[in-house]
Amino acid sequence: MVSAGMEEGDFVVDTCTGRVGCVMGREGPYLQLRPVGGGREWDCSPGDARPATVVETMRAKVAAANALSRRGR
């Protein structure tokens, strides 16, 4: 378990940035979040994270898929 109610693989919203990320683990006092479409992880205080809704998660996945298609992959 990473943080109360947040486990690896869960999608959360970083309330400081508004970004949706997948919980990858914990580094010291911070959650390690990775963008839905992949990319560089960022740190988020557990107090600044909340579970993402189904709509927020799907919106992030669609945005990642669209970005990937625009790159021609």
pLDDT at 2: 58
Q: What is the pTM of this model?
A: 0.84
Contact indicator for 36, 11 with CB cutoff of 8 Å:
yes
61: left (phi over 0), alpha (psi -120 to 50) or beta: alpha
- Listed by start position, the domains of the chain span 11-70
Tens digits of residue pLDDT in 50-72: 999 999 999 999 999 998 888 87
The mean pLDDT value for 1-20 works out to: 86
Label residue 1 by pLDDT band (50, 70, 90): very low
The H helix count followed by the E strand count for the chain is 1, 5
pLDDT at 73: 56
What SS3 state is found at 16? coil
